[in-house]
Amino acid sequence: MSDVSLMVNGKRVSGNVEDRTLLVHFLRENLGLTGTHVGCDTSQCGACVVQVDGRAVKSCTMLVAQASGSTIVTIEGLANGAELHPVQAAFKEHHGLQCGFCTPGMIMTATDMIARHPEGLDEATVRAELDGNICRCTGYHNIVKAILAASQAMAKGAKGRAKQAA
Amino acid sequence: MYAVNYHRASSVADAAKLLKNGDAKLLSGGMTLIPAMKTRLAAPSDLVDVSRLKDLQGVKVSGKTVTIGAATTHYDVATDEKLKKACPALAHMASLIGDPAVRYKGTIGGSIANNDPAADYPAALLALGATIITNKREITADKFFKGLFETALKEGEIVTAVSFTAPAKAAYQKFRNPASRYAIVGVFVTKGKDGVRAAVTGAGEDGVFRSKEIEAALAKTFDASALDGLKVPAKGLMSDLHASADYRANLIAVMAKRAVAAANA
């Protein structure tokens, strides 16, 4: 057994867990954060993607013991109260989902992708960057549209904030 | 996954000590080891996590000499600005591994110590004539990669870094399995002071290997046209549900041509 301590969505959490506990199981079963999904359980589908120290990784392929001491953001940590995160809002606006199972992972991957491409995104880049997230319903079309729209909205928001600050 | 004891090493020396526990294994990014443990293909008694050791992280470029810490992630290799200038082919190769989430975790040391017959790094290091540095010695890539999932590493030996001289020209091309993202065939070619080297991954029954045929043809003229009509022997190549040995032999020539064209571009 190991003592683990992490920052999850801005809150300090800890637990005493079996060393083999996967991060995704700790999030879902110990913390009740069931927004993070287990899809394929073989590191391929991306339904379990969360951010660990600012990097979007597959929480089904990481022990919680490895993540101890890290800062985690899950899908539950994105919205600001009732106000959706711009990526969530864009998925809603562009209907970037059907059954919704892959959506939390898609959104966590998308926020990371947008942060890594402050110069903006194009369709080819979005599709290439979605390599590790599988959706079996949508054909990706509206997911790509949503991510492109969110990227533009966030760039505008950043410019607006920069103006205000100036 | 069977029960396991997790340890976080505080230094390379500490990791070497912790490795003496039962049937312990080193854990770096865990992108292969954790899935293998989940399917019970691997069942170490103990895991020694070296991924947070600062000594094992980062890319250093000094003149033409490139040194990469063993726990440097594929993402950090792919995006390192100094490396993109010194040896863009290797940064490009790292950007083709797995998917973005995997590249954030997987490491160069983990990849080469595992020596998967379809992994990308073994081909790169073999073609670059790299040196693998461990906590005990230095091993040339030619001697390091022994066979399927087999390396020259001894019990308790830890890869700490890899080092190579940046070649004048280099490129990597791979034909990916669309499901697994692993190479069905990947070819890394380099042209440096000591001549041309061409290493092939994904295809050999004994894992990564240098192609004599490609190297001989390119030694005369380092141009894609030098490989026109080249027949790579299918003997010793893998046949599986993804591709026959003959198909792989043909793909080796095709990927080598593309790699040379990219290296000259």
**A113 min Cα distance to partner chain B (Å):** 9
Res A165: pLDDT: 62
Structure tokens at A156: 């505008």
Q: From residue B130, give the alpha-carbon distance in Å to each of A75, B92, B117, B186.
A: 42, 17, 18, 18
Element (H, E) at B134: strand B131-134
CB A5, CB A13: distance < 8 Å: yes
User: Which chain B residues are closer than 8 Å to A38 by Cβ?
Assistant: none
CATH of the domain at A67: 3.10.20.30
B198 part of a folded domain: yes
State the smallest CA–CA distance between residue A65 and chain B in angstroms: 7
Q: Could you identify the residue written with the tokens 């065939």?
A: B185
Q: What is the pTM of this model?
A: 0.95
CB-based contact B146:B139 (threshold 8 Å): no
Give, for A15, the enclosing helix (H) or strand (E). strand A11-17
Q: What total number of domains does chain B contain?
A: 2
pLDDT at residue B238 tops 70: yes
Is B256 a domain residue?
yes
CB within 8 A of B175, min separation 6: which ones? B183, B184, B185, B186, B202, B251, B254, B255
Q: Which of A14, A48, A77 is the last residue of a domain?
A: A77
Give the mutation candidate from A2, A57, A134 for the B interface (greatest B CB count, under 10 A).
A57
pLDDT for res A162: 67
Interface mutation target, options A41, A49, A61, chain B, most CBs of B under 10 Å: A61
Range of the domain at A19: 2-77
What's the first-to-final CA gap in chain A, in angstroms?
52
CATH number at residue B229: 3.30.390.50
B32 chain-A contacts, CB cut-off 8 A: none
Inform me whether the C-beta atom of residue B31 falls under 8 Å from chain A C-beta atoms. yes
B100 contact residues in A (CB cutoff 8 A): 56, 109, 112-113, 129, 131-132
The reply to whether B97 touches chain A by the CB within 8 Å rule is no
Q: Report the C-alpha gap between B186 and B178 in whole angstroms.
A: 14
Pairing of strands B5-8, B46-49: parallel
* Interval A114-159: pLDDT, tens: 999 999 999 999 999 999 999 999 999 999 999 999 999 998 887 7
pLDDT for B95 equals 97
Residue in the structure block whose two tokens are 């003997």? B235
Sort B191 into a burial class: Cβ within 10 Å, 0-12 / 13-18 / 19+.
Answer: buried
CATH number, position A143: 1.10.150.120
- A34 and A103 belong to one structural domain: no
Does residue A103 sit in the same domain as residue A145? yes
Reduced to 3 states (helix: H, G, I; strand: E, B; else coil), residue B81 is: helix
Number of separate helices (H) and strands (E) present in chain A: 6, 5
CA pair distance B248, B253, nearest whole angstrom: 9
Residue B220 lies in a domain: yes
**pLDDT at position B259:** 98
CB pairs under 8 A between A and B: 71
**Are A19 and B6 a contacting pair at CB < 8 A?**
yes
Look up residue A154 and give its amino acid.
M
Nearest C-alpha of chain A: how many angstroms from B175?
A: 15
Distance of CA B48 to the CA centre of its chain: 22
Q: Say which CATH number the domain at B10 has.
A: 3.30.43.10
**Chain B nearest CA to A89, separation (Å):** 23
Structural domains counted in chain A: 2
Q: Is residue B61 part of a domain?
A: no
**Nearest-angstrom CA–CA distance, B261 and B240:** 29
- N-term to C-term CA, chain B: 47
A156 and A91 inside one domain: yes
Task: Place B108 in a pLDDT band, splitting at 50, 70 and 90.
Answer: very high
Helix, coil or strand: residue A17: strand
Tell me if A132 and B102 make a contact (CB, 8 A cut-off).
yes
Average pLDDT over every residue of B51-63: 97
As a whole number of angstroms, the distance between CA A99 and CA A138 comes to 9
Q: How confident is the model at residue B69 (pLDDT cuts 50, 70, 90)?
A: very high
Could you give the 3-state DSSP secondary structure of residue A52? strand
Average of per-residue pLDDT across B192-216: 96
Find chain B residues with C-beta within 8 A of A44's C-beta.
179
Same domain, A113 and A59: no
- Does the structure show a pLDDT above 70 at A164? no
Whether residue A59 sits in one domain with residue A26: yes
Asked whether the beta carbons of B161 and B68 are under 8 A apart, the reply is yes
pLDDT of B181 reads 81
Q: Is B132 helix (H, G, I), strand (E, B) or coil?
A: strand
**Single-letter residue type at B13:** A
The verdict on a CB contact (< 8 Å) between B5 and A62 is: no
Sign of the Cα pseudo-torsion (A92, A95, A99, A101, in order): negative
Tokens representing B235 are 């003997």
Whether residue B77 is predicted with pLDDT greater than 80 in this model: the reply is yes
Element at B216 (helix H, strand E): helix B212-220
Task: Provide the sign of the torsion angle of the four alpha carbons B241, B245, B250, B255, taken in this order.
Answer: positive
Tokens (6 digits) for B244: 């026959």
Residues A61 and A106 in one domain: no
Q: How confident is the model at residue B166 (pLDDT cuts 50, 70, 90)?
A: very high
At residue A153, what is the residue type?
A: A
What mean pLDDT comes out for the span B192-212? 96
Same domain, A95 and A160: yes
Range of the domain at B10: 5-49
Instruction: Give the count of beta carbons closer than 10 Å to the beta carbon of residue B12.
Output: 17
Q: Which residue of A has its CA nearest to B178?
A: A131
Nearest CA-CA distance, residue B104 and chain A, Å: 7
* Strand, coil or helix: B5: strand
- B202 near A CB under 8 A: no
Rounded CA-CA distance A52/A71 in Å is 6
Final residue of a domain: which of A56, A77, A98? A77
Contact between chains at A19 and B99 (C-beta distance less than 8 A): no
- For all residues of chain B together, what is the average pLDDT? 97
State which amino acid sits at residue B94.
Answer: A
Q: Do A160 and A96 belong to one domain?
A: yes
Most B CBs within 10 A among A19, A51, A53, A147, hence the mutation to make, goes to: A19
Binning chain A into helix, strand and coil, the percentages to the nearest 5 are 45, 15, 35
**Tokens 């396991």, located at residue:** B4
Bigger pLDDT: B179 vs B256: B256
Domain boundary among A39, A59, A77: A77
pLDDT (0 to 100) of residue B45: 98
User: Which of B170, B93, B163, B92 has the alpha carbon at shortest distance from B127?
Assistant: B170
Instruction: State whether A92 and A65 are in the same domain.
Output: no
Q: What percent of chain B has pLDDT over 70?
A: 100
Interface with chain B: mutation pick from A22, A23, A25, A63, highest number of B CBs within 10 Å: A63
Question: Are A37 and A94 found together in one domain?
Answer: no
pLDDT band at A163 (very low <50, low <70, confident <90, very high): low
Contact at 8 Å (CB) between B1 and B24?
Answer: no
Span A12-28, average pLDDT? 98
Among chain A, residues having any CB pair with chain B shorter than 8 Å are: 2, 18-20, 22, 41-44, 46, 49, 55-58, 61-63, 65-66, 109, 112-113, 129, 131-133
- Quote the percentage of chain A above a pLDDT of 70: 97
Chain B residues touching A41 at Cβ < 8 A: 38
Give tens-digit pLDDT for B116-159.
999 999 999 999 999 999 999 999 999 999 999 999 999 999 99
Per-residue pLDDT, B106: 98
Question: What is the rounded average pLDDT for all residues in chain A?
Answer: 95
